Chains A and B, each alone.
Chain A
Amino acid sequence: MTPTTTPPAQAPARTGKPDGGAAARVRRRLSGTSAGLVAIVIAVVWTVPTAGLLVSSFRPAEQIRTTGWWTFFGSPEVTLDNYRDVLFGTSSDGQLATHFVNSFVITLPATVFVLVIAALAAYALSWIDFRGRDWIFLGIFALQIVPLQMSLVPLLSFFSQGVAIGETQILPAWELSGAMAFTNVWVAHTIFGLPLGIFLLHNFISQLPHTLFEAARVDGAGHGTIFLRIVLPLITPALVSLGIFQFLWVWNDLLVALIFTGGDNATAPLTVRLAELAGTRGEAWHRLTAGAFVSMVVPLVVFLLLQRYFVRGLLAGSVKG
């Protein structure tokens, strides 16, 4: 585990008094042992279900079917067969390797698009003077509250039927097939990520010092140059935080993928395929346990390596939906 938590939380000044937090005192007065016991119970309840699934995923299918995973420690027997089957087996086994690729193919562009488009908009809303700027910002801010359920039906019909007023077709349907079919999901995820993305980056970009831009202006730099050369490097930490959020959100999403990939195995990400396996093969635990971990490994790695940024983004108020 990386020893990182909330930035201001680490290393409180321990000079003089050994510790003086209200919570710490409450904890101590609750008599150390019972408080510690409750904390341990919570930690166990929060960890054991995941541990059980992880242990099971390495047990032979026959044993998963007949005995509890807690018996594993009495007679440990480890195999990678479950992972091999669920990743590379036949398509009825899951063939999650394909869906693993799909998850990446969906998530990476949907993250890059949001970062770039949101940064451009946030810059314009912070540092270019034009009439109505505050109103546009307020409007985008307000869009954060719209549940994406409100967008699903019209957006799907836009992709499948285009736009028509009465009898006249204004925009044709997107008839994308093969690998190009991913474009629909990219666009949908980009749309749903933008309001929060613009809001967070605007908070950050608008607080850059004024003098920076005046100096660049005097040197004759235009908005394009200022954005590329000055703003982008300075907002990297904010981009990382937002990037992690968008990445995890898209990777973990079920609803948007379900609708905009149409549940098609050629484009469905891991979440969609796993939910499907859980529905049709609810008792095939050797596949489900290994499959669930295949879907978790990327978010867990991202989380453990970049927990600091993740928490920072969370505290900045970034929870979307």
Chain B
Amino acid sequence: MEYSFLNDLPKVVWMIIGIAGFLAVIGLMLVVIDIPRTRRDRWQAALFLAPALILLIGGVVYPVLRTTMLSFYDRSGTEFVGLTNYLWMFQRPEILLVLRNTLLWVVFAPVLATAVGLLYAILIDRSRFESIAKSLVFMPMAISLVGASIIWRFVFAYRPADQEQYGLFNQIVVWLGGEPQLWLLDQPLNTFLLILVLIWVQAGFAMVVMSAAIKAIPSEIVEAARIDGAGAWQLFTRITLPSVWPTLLVVLVTITVQTLKVFDIVRTMTGGNYGTSVIANEMYSQAFQQGQVGQGSALAVFLFALVIPLVILQIRRTRKARELA
């Protein structure tokens, strides 16, 4: 069937009704709230907070409790099974592979993305093309991870050796005299190629934040070090690095949290096949494709448990970074 916008019109109408209705209700609330002449702060606060609290209690607080409970129940959530789902997680080889992959992601993606971001920020600092150079590397942050994954799948695309390659990576391999490969099927190399996509996306974030930190270093300090005869490497290790260290850690932890939850890249690049699945992908697959709600919930709880210490660390770091700023 050919596309016709008329079929989509009801959606747009419903969207307008949704937004207009919502704004009308809130607007009315704000007018009504001022009608009583006496001040009743408690009630007014309750009205201001009600939409947020209802949504957060119903959509986050209760679900956290419920998911935790479900992780101790069987696939349909009716029979209590104790720690079975957690034992399953640490005993099944295919799930151990998932955990190992997640570990690989966490070990490599944040450090490399931050390193590239910092290096690039230093290299382009105060150069003539700084803003354009920044935009180029930052751009992948704006597009979806699905889009980024398609970009990189095209780079790794494979044609048999007797045909002309259209994937850039295999073409380079051929130019260098090698054989084209199905890179994304090659374990465990394929996990590293997926990690590369996240590095490509997150380096821009690291670069922007690190660049701001670098510019905050007072030039008097640099001047003084230079008069004392400090070389480039000494400037970097004695001045730049210590100055941006708190920010660097914040960036590192932020990317680590994002990495733990990585889903879109794995989904779009390999669908979690060929030994590339990670926790978030496995959670989706168990809970929503295989109907294993108990096992899916256990994976979600495990993910949550991994994130908590990082966030506590993050809050401390942020506070320290603010104090230093």
- Could you tell me which A residues sit within 8 Å of B by CB distance? 1-6, 8-9, 12, 17, 19-30, 35-36, 38-39, 42-43, 45-50, 52-53, 56, 64-70, 87-91, 95, 97-98, 101-102, 104-105, 108-109, 112-113, 116-118, 120-121, 123-125, 128-131, 133, 136, 140, 143-147, 149-156, 158, 178-180, 182-183, 186-188, 190-192, 194-195, 198, 221-225, 227-228, 248, 251-255, 258-259, 271, 274-275, 278-279, 282-283, 285, 288-289, 291-292, 295-296, 299-300, 302-304, 307, 310-311, 314-315, 317, 319, 321
| Bound CA span A302–B139, Å | 11
What is the total number of residues of chain B having a CB less than 8 Å from a CB of chain A? 140
Contact of A120 among B26, B66, B205 (CB under 8 A): B26
The 7 A-B pairs of least Cβ separation, nearest first, read A29-B232, A222-B34, A191-B59, A20-B219, A252-B144, A124-B48, A303-B142
Asked if residues A130 and B56 are in contact (CB atoms below 8 Å), the reply is: no
Check B18 for interface membership: any CB of A closer than 8 A: yes
Residue-wise interface mask of B (236-262) relative to A, using a CB-CB cutoff of 8 A (1 in contact, 0 not): 100110010000000000100110110
Find the A residue at minimum CB distance from B223: A20
Please judge, given known A-B contacts A26-B122, A300-B139, whether A255 and B33 are in contact too, CB under 8 Å.
no
Q: Which residues of B contact A143 (CB under 8 A)?
A: 56, 60-61
Residue-wise interface mask of B (184-226) relative to A, using a CB-CB cutoff of 8 A (1 in contact, 0 not): 0000000000000000100111001101101111010111011
| Bound CA span A100–B314, Å | 37
Q: Given contacts A56-B154, A124-B44, A227-B48, could you give 18 more A-B pairs where the C-beta distance is less than 8 Å?
A: A19-B126, A25-B235, A26-B233, A27-B122, A35-B123, A53-B151, A120-B26, A128-B48, A145-B307, A152-B287, A178-B10, A183-B18, A222-B34, A248-B142, A255-B280, A314-B208, A315-B209, A321-B261
Asked if residues A191 and B240 are in contact (CB atoms below 8 Å), the reply is: no
| Bound CA span A282–B184, Å | 12
Check B176 for interface membership: any CB of A closer than 8 A: no
Sample (18) of A-B pairs whose CB atoms are under 8 Å apart: A17-B223, A27-B122, A29-B235, A39-B124, A46-B200, A101-B12, A104-B15, A120-B52, A149-B299, A150-B64, A150-B303, A154-B62, A186-B18, A227-B48, A251-B144, A282-B153, A291-B150, A295-B144
Q: Which residues of A contact B284 (CB under 8 A)?
A: 255, 258-259
- Could you tell me which B residues sit within 8 Å of A by CB distance? 1-3, 5, 7-8, 10-15, 18-19, 22-23, 26, 29-34, 41-42, 44-45, 48-49, 51-53, 55-56, 58-64, 66-67, 70, 116, 119-127, 130-147, 149-155, 157, 163-168, 171, 200, 203-205, 208-209, 211-212, 214-217, 219, 221-223, 225-226, 231-233, 235-236, 239-240, 243, 254, 257-258, 260-261, 263-264, 267-268, 271, 280, 283-284, 287-288, 293, 296-297, 299-301, 303-304, 307-308, 311, 318
Asked if residues A46 and B304 are in contact (CB atoms below 8 Å), the reply is: no
Asked if residues B300 and A22 are in contact (CB atoms below 8 Å), the reply is: no
